[in-house]
Structure 1
Amino acid sequence: MSLLPVADALKTIIDAISPTKNEVVPLSQANGRILAHDIAAVFDQPPFDGSAMDGYALNATDGQLGAKLEVVGISAAGEAFDGTLTTGQCTRIYTGAPMPKGANAVIMQEKITRDGDTITLEDDVAAGQNVRDKGNDFALGDVLVGMDTKLSPFHLALAAAANHPTLQVRKAPKMTLVATGDELVPPGATLQKDQIIASNGFGLTPLFTHFGADVKDGGIIKDDRETLKNELKRLLDEKPDILVTTGGASVGDRDYVKEVLEELGVDLSFWKIAVRPGKPLMFGTKGKTTIFGLPGNPVSALVTGTVFVVPAIKAKLGQSPQHMVVQLPLTTDMSSNGPRQHYRRAKLVTKPDATLGVDPNMQSDSAHLTSLSQSDSFVVQPPLCKGKAEGELVDVLIMPWAVS
């Protein structure tokens, strides 16, 4: 059976995804959530012409160097001057305070001398000087933050200033993550003969959580066919948005995941991808649940989780499923590639000329976690790509923690 190209596999996945529903949350719980509707301005900000400086408000027709003006009041934030300025008058004004009627400029307090209720200007003043116009920040009806934006602290500050105490966001996709394998034991266990520590979930869970999934640990299932079938049935009956298994996806005598999923009514769209590492990857659906069967080798699991599962999470949340891929020059030579698209472990580096490059790791063992832990990106090497020389541009998939 021929291997499915990566691009075709991703299209199949995205075509099968429908976005989650929405929910309303308070601003205090909205950081990192995906906005489900535009945030619009319901008033002008500032709602009046205001001062951008501590100083004196005046009409610019009186604003000549050496002019003397009478101070007739004070305009402070929350306590505006009530009257109207006439020729030769000014008011003391503070940052953020409303401009008095009749005034159209502010001179900084450092550029006057004051004697009692009279000030002398030490500079010329132009109309609009040091004035924040009404609606300068945003105006009624402006779209402040667009839907499908991942909300940051800066977005939330703007939403608060626009008087939006709650926001409508996408519900986090409910995801269940389960490992399979007789040899697996949790971290902290005393290793017996032929056992290894189950590490996949400790990388996949924060990876999927970072992109907005609500991940439940489904534990470790032994390589017993009936046990596996019963446990996977139980997990599917809970109807998560996404179910991810790791291990048991290949063709070994005890790799039961594929046939068990099919027996449980999962419609498998593909199995085996032209990707390296991670060829034995499954994708299917049952009702509202999207199912991924990832390889058990830890690097393969984390690479395929990044390349295939993360776009599904983003699509569930209404976001573009595209990865952050840029072109960067190699800082060393890179060997050729075989018939599968290779996500080669790599690290971003700052070159001596202060520009960014990428250093590919030549380690290709799908269980070699040390090399993965030293990586913050993947060089995306197409099938049958010839070797690349230092300085040549390559596609680089950048992980989010590399730029945070």
Structure 2
Amino acid sequence: MAALLPLAEAQAQLLALAPALPTETLPLVEAAGRWTAEQVLARRTQPAADLSAMDGYAIRFAEMPGPWRVVGESAAGSTLGFTLAAGEAARIFTGAPVPAGADAILLQEEAQRGGDRLVLAGEGPPHAGAHIRRTGSDFASGDALIEPGARLTPARIALAATGGHGALAVRRRPRIALISTGDELVPAGEPVDGVCLPSSNAPMLATLLAAETPAIVEDRGIVPDDLAATIAAADAARGADIIVTTGGASVGDRDFVRPALEAAGATIDFWRVALKPGKPIMAAKLGSTIVLGLPGNPVSAFVTARLFLLPLVRHLGGAADPFDSPETAQLSTPLPATGKRMEFLRGQRSGGMVQALGSQDSAALAMLAAANVLIIRPPFAPAAAAGDVVELFSIA
């Protein structure tokens, strides 16, 4: 039997199976959550003029403490028709253009006005230029606002809008078909007899994808442990960008995913990764569709979905960096040495401390639901003591 594939190598091979999806141009709100397909450049300068950052009066700093004669008013969006001469001031509001001749804003709570006469009634602005947003201080026309492959967060949507864009080029949403395999499975919510199990992987993966990606997900139901039925299910899902199967990818007599894919004409790229939990994971290409075979145990399916499925969806969606970045924390309890496989332990982090949960069984869903991190343990790592720093991924 071939040696187990290291995690990083398997991830790289998976992403190499297909390039990012084609682009489409969408209105800003519809583009939210996608990844940009091209660099977004500013079409305008922001601010387009010197603007007041506060409500108050536009003055000459050198003329403090006054008095000044108020000769006009500037509101947001207005076009000024005057210039301040020596000894003059203008009433001004937040976001309004600063009239020529002024170089500071006197806050209204530090001003005393009687008719057109204005005097200082507080400390006043600390220096020339105080409380003024200078032209182009945010960005200038032609500046790069968003790099290709960046996720369009609410803040980036606002930045693009302010930069003059009403629509952006993004990658098409990946289409994903979920197939659950196993004679023991029944749809969630239906009566369960004997040792049968409610199907939990498809709802779990669908909600994980919905929370983390803009993918279009279709649950294609449960397929029995039957070669012909598995071939037919794979063939029927060819229109998806990714087919995700759970269960049936191991080496048992009732594991039909691999032989079914081969019979359907798929090319197996890799099978079995040096990973715990999640060793029997498989990647294949069925025509232009990527097939990702995840383990059937729900914890294994969850861990491998975070390590393989989410990065793959982000990659197809055009993400510049599709992988999660690990964080660090100190162990509050010790951990044993590891073997030849990389391990991802379900744990709980509180503040800067983390501990592994009691049961690490790959079917223990209660522990998975209680976890908020996956603690990363490299292969052949020595025992770790309380206080040692470990890497982890946040999952909640």
TM over 0.5: yes
AA aligned opposite 1:217? D
- Report whether the alignment pairs 1:224 with 2:226: yes
Identify if the C-alpha distance between structure 1 residues 222 and 109 changes in structure 2 by more than 3 Å, giving closer, same or farther: same
AA aligned opposite 2:89? C
**Which residue in the other structure is 1:255 paired with?**
255
**Which residue in the other structure is 2:201 paired with?**
200
Cα RMSD for the two superposed structures: 1.7
CA contact (8 A) 2:34 2:170 kept: yes
**Which residue in the other structure is 1:359 paired with?**
355
Q: CA deviation at 1:157?
A: 1.9
AA aligned opposite 1:170? R
**Which residue in the other structure is 2:266 paired with?**
266
* In structure 1, distance between residues paired with 2:174 and 2:80: 53
Identify if the C-alpha distance between structure 1 residues 124 and 201 changes in structure 2 by more than 3 Å, giving closer, same or farther: closer
Q: Deviations over 1:82-125 (max 9, x none)?
A: 12222222222222111222222221222232222111234566
**Which residue in the other structure is 2:386 paired with?**
390
Q: CA deviation at 1:368?
A: 0.9
Q: CA deviation at 1:200?
A: 0.5
Identify if the C-alpha distance between structure 1 residues 110 and 260 changes in structure 2 by more than 3 Å, giving closer, same or farther: same
CA contact (8 A) 1:80 1:100 kept: no
Q: Secondary structure at the match of 2:237?
A: helix
- For structure 1, which segment, 297-306 or 95-104, has the greater mean C-alpha deviation from structure 2 after superposition? 95-104
- For structure 1, which segment, 206-215 or 295-304, has the greater mean C-alpha deviation from structure 2 after superposition? 206-215
Q: Deviations over 1:212-232 (max 9, x none)?
A: 322111111111221221221
* In structure 1, distance between residues paired with 2:330 and 2:357: 14
- Percent identical pairs in the alignment equals 38
Out of 365, 368, 382, the position equivalent to 1:369 is 365
AA aligned opposite 1:87? A
**Which residue in the other structure is 1:339 paired with?**
340
- Report whether the alignment pairs 1:303 with 2:303: yes
Q: Secondary structure at the match of 1:347?
A: strand
Q: CA deviation at 1:64?
A: 2.5
Identify if the C-alpha distance between structure 1 residues 397 and 78 changes in structure 2 by more than 3 Å, giving closer, same or farther: closer
Q: CA deviation at 1:386?
A: 2.6
Correspondence list, 1:224-243, <5 A: 224-236=226-238, 238=239, 240-243=240-243
Correspondence list, 1:119-198, <5 A: 119-122=118-121, 123=123, 126-198=127-199
* In structure 1, distance between residues paired with 2:86 and 2:9: 75
* In structure 2, distance between residues paired with 1:218 and 1:257: 15
Q: Secondary structure at the match of 1:304?
A: helix
Q: Which runs of 5+ in 1 are unaligned?
A: 351-355
- Report whether the alignment pairs 1:41 with 2:42: yes
Q: CA deviation at 1:389?
A: 1.0
Q: Deviations over 1:192-244 (max 9, x none)?
A: 233110000111112223233221111111112212212211112x2x11111
CA contact (8 A) 2:276 2:344 kept: yes
Correspondence list, 1:28-67, <5 A: 28-61=29-62, 63-65=63-65, 67=66
**Which residue in the other structure is 1:287 paired with?**
287
* In structure 1, distance between residues paired with 2:282 and 2:78: 66
Q: Secondary structure at the match of 1:373?
A: helix
Correspondence list, 1:322-337, <5 A: 322-337=323-338
Q: Secondary structure at the match of 1:24?
A: strand
**Which residue in the other structure is 2:78 paired with?**
79
* In structure 1, distance between residues paired with 2:177 and 2:282: 16
AA aligned opposite 1:54? D
Q: CA deviation at 1:266?
A: 0.8
CA contact (8 A) 1:73 1:81 kept: no
**Which residue in the other structure is 2:102 paired with?**
103
CA contact (8 A) 2:270 2:282 kept: yes
Identify if the C-alpha distance between structure 1 residues 384 and 112 changes in structure 2 by more than 3 Å, giving closer, same or farther: closer
CA contact (8 A) 1:324 1:398 kept: no
Identify if the C-alpha distance between structure 1 residues 382 and 129 changes in structure 2 by more than 3 Å, giving closer, same or farther: closer
Task: Provide TM-score, normalisation by structure 2.
Answer: 0.94
* In structure 2, distance between residues paired with 1:77 and 1:86: 22
- For structure 1, which segment, 138-147 or 289-298, has the greater mean C-alpha deviation from structure 2 after superposition? 138-147
* In structure 1, distance between residues paired with 2:365 and 2:390: 23
**Which residue in the other structure is 1:353 paired with?**
none
Task: Provide TM-score, normalisation by structure 1.
Answer: 0.92
